[in-house]
């Protein structure tokens, strides 16, 4: 298993700018809580699944199997 940044540099740049604006909260989710702080709870749960492969909600991170 490996978690890496999205290889699309433009997406990474856009999401990181959003993270700066929101104080580190996922810019794709309106709710502001510890669960939506980057790396969000939803993605942390997904990467625990050995069969999961894919992007986090905002597409900043990608998990491979």
- pLDDT score for 36: 96
> At 4, is the secondary structure helix, strand, or coil?
strand
- pLDDT score for 2: 94
DSSP-derived pairing of the beta strands 54-55 and 2-5: unpaired
Going by C-beta distance under 8 Å and a sequence separation of 6 or more, which residues neighbour residue 22? 32
- pLDDT score for 55: 97
- pLDDT score for 65: 84
Q: Is residue 1's pLDDT more than 80?
A: no
CB 42 within 8 A of CB 58: no
pLDDT in tens, 3-53: 999 999 999 999 999 999 999 999 989 999 999 999 999 999 999 999 999
DSSP string, 33-63: SGGGBSSPHHHHHHHHSTT--EE-TTSSEEE
- Give residue 49's domain range: 2-64
pTM of the predicted model, to two decimals?
Answer: 0.88
Q: What total of structural domains would you count in the chain?
A: 1
């Amino acid at each position: 298993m490996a978690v890496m940044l999205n290889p699309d540099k433009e997406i990474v740049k856009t999401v990181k700018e959003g993270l700066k604006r929101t104080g580190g909260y996922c810019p794709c989710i309106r709710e502001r809580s510890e669960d939506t702080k980057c790396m969000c709870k939803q993605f942390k749960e997904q990467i625990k699944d050995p069969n999961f492969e894919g992007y986090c909600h905002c597409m900043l991170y990608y998990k491979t199997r």
